[in-house]
């Protein structure tokens, strides 16, 4: 064996020993006392967290995690303020927020998608085609009726109702609003120039618009108002099917109309993996590619790298490391139930590097 190979083997053995020591220390810390972890934020990520907790608790019975669906805006705010240890968010923090809170990490845990849904009597079992510019026109109040020529042009041969459109939007600080308005911003110059994107935006005064809180509120508002339209995370797809509501085919950057599926979500993610920076704050919206669904995003854990105790830091590292593992929280049995996409291997490595910074 060459001297260089012996050197590499020795270095690898040293790194493995350090990793083993870190795992042993984490195990000792978690076994020493009960650790109470508070998670709050994204209503889109909330169902997945609640699928994860029983399995994680079996592995770490001394770690007790409470979850609350409060919206991404609240999740970010409470994590930054230290009120909650984990802020679940569909939105990454802005450069301005990061300058004010340099200790905060934005760690992707999985990839989600967003649907555009509608309640159209007689048409809910048909997938209407919609585009960013048409949706922007609807939410700006410029396209007011379902049989408007711009909608009809995308759906030739479909008998659209001569009825006014009821738009439904989130009133809470919402990552779903963040990614929906990104789709409109990236596809429609008029929306970008007048409204742009954020977790909370100044919605135009479109006739008949309705506000709702959380994804459950969006589903209820859609169900209870015929001729309405809404944007809803795919973790609520089963509720959409149960209530027999419609799901649109959305126009992507390459001009194709697609549904949110595992195939189209993975195709979009594959286009963006190499563009993901080390801090992982990036929009995945409107990715190029023939088969890329246009509204996908990383689901983030917003968390401070500086924790008040070694036990809390160990609990968070253990939770996130398990959550992003393809043998743990990113396993198909979890991803399929909420219609999420597992993190690609290069993104798992980036998240692992951020998780290691928690201390």
Helix axes 310-324, 3-32, angle to 10 degrees: 110
Considering the entire predicted model, what is its pTM? 0.89
Contacts 24+ apart (CB under 8 A), 200-203: 200/73, 200/172, 200/173, 200/174, 201/177, 203/139, 203/169
90 and 127 housed in the same domain: no
Q: Does residue 225 sit within a domain?
A: yes
142 and 242 housed in the same domain: yes
Domain assignment of residue 191, given as a range: 113-275
130 and 93 housed in the same domain: no
Res 208: pLDDT: 85
264 and 143 housed in the same domain: yes
Res 32: pLDDT: 58
Q: One digit per residue, pLDDT tens: the chain, 359 residues?
A: 554 444 435 444 443 444 444 454 455 555 557 999 999 999 999 999 999 999 999 999 999 999 999 999 999 999 999 999 999 999 999 999 999 999 999 999 999 999 999 999 999 999 999 999 999 999 999 999 999 999 999 999 999 999 999 999 999 999 999 999 999 999 999 999 999 999 999 999 888 899 999 999 999 999 999 999 999 999 999 999 999 999 999 999 999 999 999 999 999 999 999 999 999 999 999 999 999 999 999 999 999 999 999 999 999 999 999 999 999 999 999 999 999 999 999 999 999 999 999 99
d(CA 316, CA 305): 10
Res 237: pLDDT: 97
Q: Is 328 exposed, middle or buried (0-12, 13-18, 19+ CB in 10 A)?
A: middle
270 and 327 housed in the same domain: no
């Amino acid at each position: 064996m060459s001297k260089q190979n012996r050197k590499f083997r020795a270095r690898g053995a040293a790194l493995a020993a350090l990793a083993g020591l870190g795992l042993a220390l984490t195990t000792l810390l978690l076994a020493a006392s009960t650790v109470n972890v508070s998670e709050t934020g994204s209503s889109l990520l909330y169902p997945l967290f609640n699928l994860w907790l029983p399995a994680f608790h079996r592995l770490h019975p001394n770690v007790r995690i409470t979850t609350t669906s409060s919206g991404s805006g609240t999740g970010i705010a409470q994590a930054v303020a230290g009120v909650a240890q984990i802020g679940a968010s569909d939105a990454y923090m802005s450069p301005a927020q990061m300058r004010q809170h340099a200790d905060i990490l934005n760690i992707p845990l999985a990839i989600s998608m967003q649907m555009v849904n509608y309640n159209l009597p007689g048409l809910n079992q048909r997938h209407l085609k919609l585009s960013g510019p048409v949706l922007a026109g609807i939410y700006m109040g410029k396209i007011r009726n379902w049989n408007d020529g711009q909608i009809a042009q995308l759906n030739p041969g479909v008998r659209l109702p001569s009825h006014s459109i009821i738009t439904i939007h989130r009133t809470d600080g919402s990552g779903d609003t963040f990614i929906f308005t990104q789709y409109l911003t990236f596809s429609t110059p008029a929306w970008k120039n007048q409204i742009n994107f954020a977790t909370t935006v100044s919605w135009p005064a479109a006739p008949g618009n309705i506000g709702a809180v959380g994804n459950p509120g969006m589903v209820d508002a859609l169900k209870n108002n015929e001729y309405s339209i809404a944007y809803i995370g795919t973790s609520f797809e089963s509720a959409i099917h149960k209530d027999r509501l419609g799901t649109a085919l959305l126009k992507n950057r390459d001009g194709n109309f697609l549904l949110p599926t595992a195939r189209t979500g993975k195709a979009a993610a594959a286009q963006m993996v190499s563009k993901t920076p080390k801090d992982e704050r990036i929009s995945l919206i409107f990715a190029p590619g023939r088969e890329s669904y246009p509204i996908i995003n990383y689901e983030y854990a917003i968390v401070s790298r500086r924790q008040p105790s070694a036990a809390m830091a160990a609990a968070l590292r253990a939770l996130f490391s398990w959550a992003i593992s393809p043998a743990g929280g990113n396993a198909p049995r979890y991803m399929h139930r909420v219609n999420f996409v597992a993190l690609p291997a290069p993104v798992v490595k980036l998240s692992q590097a951020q998780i290691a910074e928690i201390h």
